[in-house]
Amino acid sequence: MGVWNARVRPVTLPPRNAHARPTSAMAAAFIALIALLVAPTTALAAPGGAGAGAGADGTVHGGLSRPDYSYANAIRESVWVDTGFDADSDGRTDRVAADIIRPREPARAGRKIPVIMDASPYFACCGRGNESQRKTYDAQGRPVQFPLFYDNYFVPRGYAVVLVDLAGTNRSDGCADVGGRYDVGSAKAVVDWLNGRATGYSERGGGKKVKAGWTNGKVGMIGKSWDGTIANAVASTGVRGLKTIVPISAISSWYDYYFQQGAALYDGGPQWLSDYVESADAKRKCAAVQQQIVDGSPRNGDWTSFWQERDYTAHADKVRASVLLVHGKQDLNVRTKHFGQWWDRLAANHVERGIRLSQTGHVDPFDFRRGTWVDTLHRWFDHYLLGVRNGVEREPMGSIERTPDHWADSAEWPAAATRTTTVRPRPGAVPGLGTLGLAPAGPGSTESFTDDPKIGEDGWSANVDRPTPAKAAFTTGVLKKDLRLNGSGSVTLTAASSTTSAHLSAVLVDLGPARIRDFAAAGEGIKTLTTKSCWGRSTKGDSACYKDTAADTAKVGYTVFSRGWADLGHYGSGKHGVRLTPGKAYRITVRLAATDHVVPAGHRLALIVAGTDAGLLEPADTKPTVTVYLARSFARLPLVGGSRNVPPSATSPAATGRPLHGLPGPVLKHPLPGSAFLG
């Protein structure tokens, strides 16, 4: 079975990664006794307890590093690394703060160790993880709390953990530039320092030069959201020493965070984010950089040099590191287009990689599949940073959550049997209700809709079998067997607008009852419990215990599982928009976000075409009626089994005026994500 095998292990032996879980005193003693009885003699090298007297080389047994080093006695220090930039124009090059925790025993013995690194703008302003942990320091400024479990779990196993404040945030100099050269360069500089190619200092201003003589230079970057984005970006520089990255819900091109094909997805712009995370010192010094951000990112959706600099997919051919990619299939903050286009470029360049897709929104795997995720991450880092031959690289490439807490492995991703298949919309007996199948529409066939910015995908889907003016819906017949879509698709539309501007939405909908993670709720598919579990070692100032979580589910009558948006005025190269000539037909291909979804037998597949997707897309400056020419429109979908699994088109059902199956969909309860921070 794969890395993400969800089966329960036998309980007669301790877990192979020795997770520390809350137990009663009797249960804890029993587990300790069993561990002593079954442990091989090599694991008994630390008779005074884990870490006390541990050998310099630590213990690797059963393909896993063991917690042989003391967390309480670990070295905790801060180093400021020279970036070579003077973004804040104060006359000296900017230094970024790297807070480090590493086991003391290897340092004494002269053994070199690898690094797990998280570079983030959030360590002071907002915190990391489900409990929003921040860095803390003692009275002398020495680091005390390292957010998240990476330090608690991996330092005892022979790793250093380095948490970097991106330029302009927390204790770093410089200016935040939202994925630009200062952001990326500040993180890359630390990788360079760890490999002896940059200069570090003991103080933010002045101090002694500090070398990272304790590390072997092997670095694995990890992080969620902006942090994971920086991991992608640094990997795209091809920097030597970066051996693996684990981007979680990460951006691959910043343009696609704010726009899709010219259509604005967020209010405000990147200057809002930089202002949100910058330190007070940076706010005083970085007005010029802030203005450059404003000038480079106009809200017209055009592709500028600002966005070009922040498109990491363009440099995927430089990636040397392996990639373990994690994303929520219903992430409406960093949408799944990001992982899809990044994955495709990595695949084209034969990068060693794995992928994990949940039913959640913008959620860390520690909070939707905790035990399995820690086990997977442990084995992944052991292999790529310690060189342990544990076979993780040969296990199934993908693991996908099909229903809440039920996962399926995929030997390859997309699946080997996936074929890009052309399906076509046709008119039905009732205007606005068409069919979807393999046969093309007849010449002159059209469907029309009028943009209503107050209605979005939930309103369209709930009324999929009812003619409404704001959408055109096309449905297949009832499926006789499961239909799996995995990968990225597209919808090509030939359309004319009644006004000089028009936005288009195309969504794929699974029509049928299901229980799903409630990604539209506040927890985006999880609920936080009052109990805690512990993952590693603790100190008074840094606990390894975190609140448990569980799936937050909802019964629904339909599920929107892939989305695409575009401004029709960007029909050409997509780099610059134009005003439309009313009544003139234009052809545009709307790129759908990547997904892996199974439409079960007994359900139907729908393609809905409409205007503004309320709550997710900013409306155009007009409210056009859009006519779609069906004979010159089609969708190309990544179907496992290809066209043979597409059912014959069926006549659209008569209008009922009732919600599908009597169940609503997951109605979005949060505002447009631009009003919240990325993390």
Q: What is the CATH number of the domain that holds 567?
A: 2.60.120.260
In this predicted structure, the answer to whether residue 672 has a pLDDT above a threshold of 70 is no
In a domain, 437, yes or no: yes
CB within 8 Å of 651: residues ≥ 6 apart = 428, 429, 435
Question: Within 13 Å of residue 85, how many CA atoms lie on the same side as its CB?
Answer: 25
CB 328 within 8 A of CB 519: yes
Assigned domain for 111 exists:
yes
Q: Which domain holds residue 274?
A: 60-322
Q: Which of 181-190, 458-467, 566-575 has the lowest mean pLDDT?
A: 566-575
Determine, yes or no, domain membership for 464: yes
DSSP codes of every residue in 395-460: S-SEEEEEETTEEEEESSSS-TTEEEEEEEEEEEEETTEEEEESSPPPTT-EEEEE--TT--HHHH
Same domain for 299 and 422, yes or no, is: no
Q: Within this chain, do residues 113 and 257 fall inside the same structural domain, yes or no?
A: yes
Distance CA 488, CA 504 (A): 18
For residues 304 and 441, state if they share a domain. Answer: no
Contact 259, 274 (CB under 8 A): no
Query: Each residue of 229-267: pLDDT tens digit?
Result: 999 999 999 999 999 999 999 999 999 999 999 999 976
Residue 660, pLDDT score: 52
DSSP per residue over 584-598, as a string?
Answer: -EEEEEEEPPPEEEE
pLDDT band at 678 (very low <50, low <70, confident <90, very high): confident
Which residue in this structure is represented by tokens 């005003």?
Answer: 579
Say what the pLDDT of residue 276 is.
Answer: 93
DSSP state of 364: -
Instruction: Report the alpha-carbon distance of residue 241 to residue 217 in Å, rounded.
Output: 6
**CA distance linking residue 564 with residue 549, whole number of Å:** 31
Q: pLDDT tens for residues 418-461?
A: 999 999 999 999 999 999 999 999 999 999 999 999 999 999 99
Q: Is 60 exceeded by the pLDDT of residue 671?
A: no
The two beta strands, 483-487 and 604-610, are unpaired
Give the span between the Cα atoms of 433 and 352, in whole angstroms.
45
Q: State how far Cα 647 lies from the chain centre.
A: 33
pLDDT, tens only, 215-239: 999 999 999 999 999 999 999 999 9
Out of 322, 343, 366, pick the residue that ends a domain.
322
Question: Which amino acid does the sequence have at 82?
Answer: D
Q: Using the predicted structure, report yes or no on whether residue 286 has a pLDDT greater than 70.
A: yes
8: confidence class by pLDDT, cuts 50, 70, 90: very low
The whole-angstrom separation of Cα 679 and Cα 676 is 9
What digits encode the pLDDT tens for the residues 21-69? Answer: 333 333 334 333 333 333 332 222 232 233 333 444 567 888 899 999 9
In angstroms, the first-to-last Cα distance of the chain is 33
Q: What is the mean pLDDT of residues 508-521?
A: 98
* Domain end among 267, 291, 322: 322
Q: Structurally, how many domains does the chain consist of?
A: 2
Max intra-chain CA distance, the chain:
83
324-335 pLDDT tens trace: 999 999 999 999
Q: Distance (Å, rounded) from C-alpha 624 to C-alpha 292?
A: 34
Q: Are strands 263-264 and 398-403 parallel, antiparallel or unpaired?
A: unpaired
Kindly report the pTM of this predicted structure.
0.90
pLDDT of 10: 27
386-408 confidence digits (pLDDT tens) = 999 999 999 999 999 999 999 99
Which single residue is written with the structure tokens 């994990």? 356
Q: How far apart (Å, rounded) are the C-alpha atoms in residues 380 and 395?
A: 11
Confidence of residue 649 (pLDDT cuts 50, 70, 90): low
Enter the tokens of residue 580.
Answer: 């439309």
Q: Which contacts (CB < 8 Å, 24+ apart) does range 381-385 have? A: 381/114, 381/116, 381/154, 381/159, 381/220, 381/244, 382/60, 382/63, 382/64, 382/65, 384/218, 384/220, 384/243, 384/244, 384/322, 385/114, 385/115, 385/116, 385/159, 385/218, 385/219, 385/220, 385/243, 385/244
**Phi then psi for 93, rounded to 5 degrees?**
-70, 145
On whether residue 284 sits in a domain, the answer given is yes
**CA of 612: how far to CAs of 255, 296, 456, 501, in Å?**
19, 25, 7, 12
Judge contact between 495 and 626, C-beta under 8 A: yes
Using CB atoms within 10 A of its CB, is residue 538 exposed (0-12), middle (13-18) or buried (19+)?
A: middle
Report the C-alpha gap between 632 and 366 in whole angstroms: 46
Structural domain contains residue 534: no
Give me the mean pLDDT over the 504-511 stretch: 98
Task: Render pLDDT for 581-614 as a digit per residue (tens, 0 to 9).
Answer: 999 999 999 999 999 999 999 999 999 999 999 9
Residue 532 CA to its chain's centroid (Å): 25
Q: Residues 154-169: what's their mean pLDDT?
A: 98
Which residue, of 322, 344, 360, is where some domain finishes?
322
Of residues 163, 128, 157, 129, the one with CA closest to residue 143: 163
In a domain, 345, yes or no: no
β-strand pairing of 215-224 with 242-248: parallel
d(CA 552, CA 666): 12
Question: What is the spatial distance between Cα 598 and Cα 508, in angstroms, rounded to a whole number?
Answer: 12
**Same domain, residue pair 150 and 288:** yes
Q: Go through the chain and tell me how many residues it has.
A: 679
Confirm whether 352 is domain-assigned: no
Q: What is the CATH number of the domain that holds 67?
A: 3.40.50
pLDDT for the residue numbered 677 = 59
Task: For residues 463-492, give the mean pLDDT.
Answer: 97
The mean pLDDT value of the chain amounts to 89
What is the three-state SS of 496-557? EECCCCCEEEEEEEEEEEEEEECCCCCCCCEEEEEEEEECCCCECCECCEEEEEEECEEEEE
Q: Is residue 133 classed as helix, strand or coil in its secondary structure?
A: strand
Q: Tell me how far apart the alpha carbons of residues 322 and 349 are, in angstroms, rounded to a whole number.
A: 11
Residues 657, 421: Cα–Cα separation, whole Å: 32
Neighbouring C-alpha atoms within 13 Å toward the C-beta of 73: 14
Q: Which of 300-304, 543-547, 654-658 has the lowest average pLDDT? A: 654-658
Residue 466 lies in a domain: yes
The more confident residue out of 41 and 301 is 301
> Residue 432: which of 248, 673, 671, 654 has the closest Cα?
654
User: Quick one: which H or E segment has residue 200?
Assistant: strand 200-201
76-105 mean pLDDT? 97
Q: Is residue 423 located within the same domain as residue 314?
A: no
pLDDT per residue as tens digits for the range 334-360: 999 999 999 999 999 999 999 999 999
Residue 220, helix vs strand vs coil = strand
Peptide bond into 619 cis (omega under 30): no
Are the CB atoms for 390 and 382 separated by under 8 Å? Answer: yes
Rounded average pLDDT over 80-103: 97
Residues recognised as catalytic: 225, 331, 362
Q: 574 falls in which pLDDT band (50, 70, 90)?
A: confident
Give the C-alpha separation, 168 to 508, whole Å: 41
